[in-house]
C-alpha cells in the first residue's frame, strides 16, 4: 500500500505531536481518522465526490468513494468540504546578510555556494501562520545574499518545520554593488563575468583535485574551497541552478550562461515572460503572481507619469501564466514578491479569470513543484 504524508490544510489543526513531558492529565488523541463525505481533489485532474480519506498515525492510508472505515476510526463528516493536497510555496527567501568569512576560501564574499538554506532557516511564527492560512504546507526555502547564494531546501511548514530536502538547487542572482560598492562587481557586466569565472574556477578546482589524487607526489596541495567544491558537485550531478531574473532579458542572459557551461537551468521568473514567450528557454520556471497596482489615470496630470510600457504591463501581467501554459512551459506559482501575501488568492483568481485553466493552476501549486523538488512520492496528491 502506498503511504503519503498528509499535506492539506484541513488537517493542520489536529496533526500535532507531543515532545516534552505532559503538564496536565495525559491525553490519548485518536490515531485513526476517517474524513467522510468530502469532495476530494486527489490530483489536479481527478476529483472524488462523496469521498473518504483514512488517516492512520498521521499518514494517509486509503482514499476513495466506497472504502471500508476502520472500527477504531474517529469519523469527521466533511459534507460539502473540499480536500486538496497542501500547496507548495515554490520560493521563500532566507536572508544571509551575515556570513562567517572564515568558512570560505574564495577571494570574493559574493561566492557563497557552500551555504545551505536549511542550516540558516529561522522561521517566524507569523510568517508560518500566514503561509498556512493560504493553504501552503511546504516551502522551497532559498538563500538570499551575494551572487552565488548557496543551496536551496524544502521544508514542511508545521509548528516545528521538518526538512524534506537540504539540497534542491544552487541559486544565482545578478547582484552588483553599483558605483559606490566596496567590492567587485559594481556593474551588470562585472556580475556576468563573475558568474562565468565562478564556473570556470569550479571546473579548474575539480580537475585539480582529480590530478592531486592521481599524482600526489610532486604536486602541492591546493587550498580547500567549499564553494567551488559545491558548484563542481552540483554541475557534475546535473543539479538545477536557479537564476533570479528581473525581466525577460535576464532570462536570455541566464540561458546563454547555461548553454556555455552545460548546466541544468531553472528560472525564477519575474512576471514579464509573456513579452518574449517565443524566445524563452524550455526550462522549469517559478512564476510570481505579483501584479502591478492599478494606475491612477483619472487625473490627467497624474496619468502623464505612466509610460506606455507600464500601462501595457498592468494590462498584460495577469495573462502571464496563461500564456506560459498555452506555450507548453512547465512552471510553478509563488506568492514571492507580494507586499501582502494575503493578496495571493485574489491574484490567483484573477489569473484563472484571465484564462489559466484551474487544473493547471492547481498543478502549479502541487504536483509540478512536488516533482521538480524531488518529492512526488510524498507531496502534491491526496492518495
* More confident position, 222 or 48: 48
- Mean pLDDT (the chain, rounded): 90
Q: Report whether pLDDT(16) > 80.
A: no
Eight-state DSSP code of residue 116: B
Q: Taking residues 15-43, report their average pLDDT.
A: 73
Q: Report whether pLDDT(298) > 50.
A: yes
Q: Taking residues 376-383, report their average pLDDT.
A: 94
**Confidence band of 305 (pLDDT split at 50, 70, 90):** confident
Q: What is the pLDDT of residue 325?
A: 98
Q: Report whether pLDDT(370) > 80.
A: yes
Eight-state DSSP code of residue 71: T
Q: What is the pLDDT of residue 104?
A: 64
Within the chain, residue ranges assigned H as helices are: 117-120, 125-133, 188-214, 226-236, 248-261, 300-303, 308-316, 320-326, 344-353, 358-363, 367-372
For the stretch 309-320, pLDDT in tens is: 999 999 999 999
Eight-state DSSP code of residue 106: S
Percent residues over pLDDT 90 in the chain:
75
**Gap between the Cα atoms of 21 and 92, Å rounded:** 33
What residues contact residue 73 under an 8 Å CB cut-off, 6+ apart?
A: 30, 32, 33, 34, 54
Q: Taking residues 37-43, report their average pLDDT.
A: 96
- Are 263 and 241 spatial neighbours (Cβ–Cβ below 8 Å)? yes
Supply 277's cell numbers: 514567450
Least confident among 56-60, 94-98, 134-138: 94-98
Least confident among 1-5, 24-28, 76-80, 288-292: 1-5
Q: Report whether pLDDT(2) > 50.
A: no
* More confident position, 296 or 243: 243
**Interior CA angle at 343 toward 340 and 347, to 5°?**
140
Q: Report whether pLDDT(103) > 70.
A: no
Q: What is the pLDDT of residue 71?
A: 92
For the stretch 119-148, pLDDT in tens is: 999 988 999 999 999 999 999 999 999 999
For the stretch 165-215, pLDDT in tens is: 999 999 999 999 866 667 899 999 999 999 999 999 999 999 999 999 998
Q: What is the pLDDT of residue 180?
A: 66
Percent residues over pLDDT 70 in the chain:
90
Domains defined for the chain, CATH in brackets: 4-84 (2.30.40), 87-372 (3.20.20.140)
Eight-state DSSP code of residue 79: T
| Residue where the block lists cell 498515525 | 57
For the stretch 326-361, pLDDT in tens is: 999 999 999 999 999 999 999 999 999 999 999 999
> Bridge partners of 116?
151
**Gap between the Cα atoms of 135 and 76, Å rounded:** 20
**Gap between the Cα atoms of 37 and 40, Å rounded:** 9
End-to-end CA distance of the chain: 10
**Interior CA angle at 72 toward 68 and 76, to 5°?**
75
* More confident position, 300 or 333: 333
* More confident position, 57 or 17: 57
Q: Per this entry, what is the length of the chain?
A: 383
> Bridge partners of 64?
52
E strands within the chain?
Answer: 4-5, 32-43, 46-56, 59-64, 74-77, 82-84, 87-95, 136-144, 148-151, 153-156, 162-165, 170-173, 240-244, 264-268, 284-288, 331-334
Q: Report whether pLDDT(12) > 70.
A: no
Q: Taking residues 56-83, report their average pLDDT.
A: 93
- Are 319 and 272 spatial neighbours (Cβ–Cβ below 8 Å)? no
Least confident among 64-68, 179-183, 273-277: 179-183
* More confident position, 11 or 311: 311
SS3 141: strand
Inter-residue long-range contacts of 189-198, CB under 8 Å, 24+ positions, other chains counted: 191/147, 192/253, 192/257, 194/108, 194/110, 194/147, 195/147, 195/148, 195/257, 196/257, 196/260, 196/261, 198/111, 198/113, 198/147, 198/148, 198/228, 198/231
**Gap between the Cα atoms of 143 and 225, Å rounded:** 19
Amino acid at each position: 500500500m502506498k503511504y503519503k504524508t498528509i499535506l492539506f490544510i484541513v488537517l493542520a489543526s489536529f496533526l500535532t505531536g507531543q515532545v516534552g513531558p505532559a503538564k496536565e492529565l495525559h491525553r490519548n488523541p485518536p490515531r485513526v481518522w476517517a474524513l467522510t463525505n468530502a469532495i476530494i481533489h486527489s490530483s489536479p485532474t481527478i476529483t472524488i465526490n462523496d469521498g473518504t480519506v483514512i488517516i492512520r498515525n498521521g499518514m494517509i492510508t486509503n482514499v476513495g468513494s466506497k472504502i471500508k472505515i476502520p472500527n477504531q476510526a474517529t469519523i469527521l463528516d466533511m459534507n460539502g468540504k473540499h480536500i486538496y493536497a497542501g500547496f507548495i510555496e515554490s520560493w521563500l527567501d532566507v536572508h544571509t546578510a551575515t556570513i562567517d568569512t572564515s568558512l570560505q576560501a574564495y577571494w570574493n564574499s559574493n561566492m557563497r555556494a557552500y551555504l545551505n538554506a536549511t542550516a540558516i532557516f529561522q522561521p517566524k511564527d507569523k510568517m508560518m501562520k500566514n503561509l498556512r492560512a493560504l493553504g501552503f504546507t511546504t516551502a522551497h526555502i532559498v538563500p538570499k545574499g551575494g551572487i552565488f547564494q548557496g543551496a536551496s531546501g524544502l521544508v514542511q511548514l508545521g509548528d516545528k518545520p521538518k526538512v524534506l530536502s537540504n539540497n534542491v538547487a544552487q541559486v544565482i542572482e545578478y547582484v552588483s554593488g553599483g558605483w559606490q560598492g566596496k567590492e567587485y562587481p559594481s556593474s551588470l557586466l562585472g556580475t556576468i563575468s563573475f558568474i562565468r569565472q565562478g564556473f570556470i574556477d569550479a571546473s579548474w578546482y575539480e580537475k585539480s583535485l582529480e590530478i592531486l589524487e592521481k599524482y600526489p607526489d610532486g604536486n602541492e596541495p591546493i587550498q580547500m574551497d567549499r564553494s567551488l567544491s559545491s558548484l563542481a558537485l552540483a554541475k557534475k550531478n546535473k543539479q538545477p541552478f536557479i537564476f533570479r531574473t528581473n525581466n525577460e532579458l535576464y532570462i536570455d542572459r541566464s540561458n546563454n550562461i547555461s548553454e556555455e557551461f552545460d548546466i541544468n537551468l531553472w528560472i525564477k521568473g519575474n512576471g514579464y515572460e509573456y513579452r518574449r514567450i517565443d524566445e524563452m528557454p524550455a526550462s522549469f520556471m517559478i512564476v510570481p503572481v505579483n501584479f502591478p497596482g492599478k494606475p491612477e489615470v483619472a487625473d490627467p496630470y497624474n496619468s502623464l507619469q505612466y509610460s506606455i510600457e507600464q500601462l501595457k504591463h498592468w494590462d498584460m501581467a495577469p495573462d502571464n501564466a496563461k500564456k506560459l501554459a498555452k506555450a507548453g512551459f512547465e512552471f510553478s506559482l509563488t506568492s514571492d514578491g507580494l507586499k501582502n501575501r494575503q493578496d495571493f488568492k485574489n491574484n490567483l483568481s484573477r489569473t484563472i479569470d484571465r484564462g489559466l485553466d484551474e487544473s493547471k493552476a492547481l498543478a502549479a501549486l502541487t504536483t509540478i513543484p512536488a516533482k521538480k523538488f524531488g518529492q512526488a512520492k510524498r507531496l502534491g496528491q491526496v492518495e
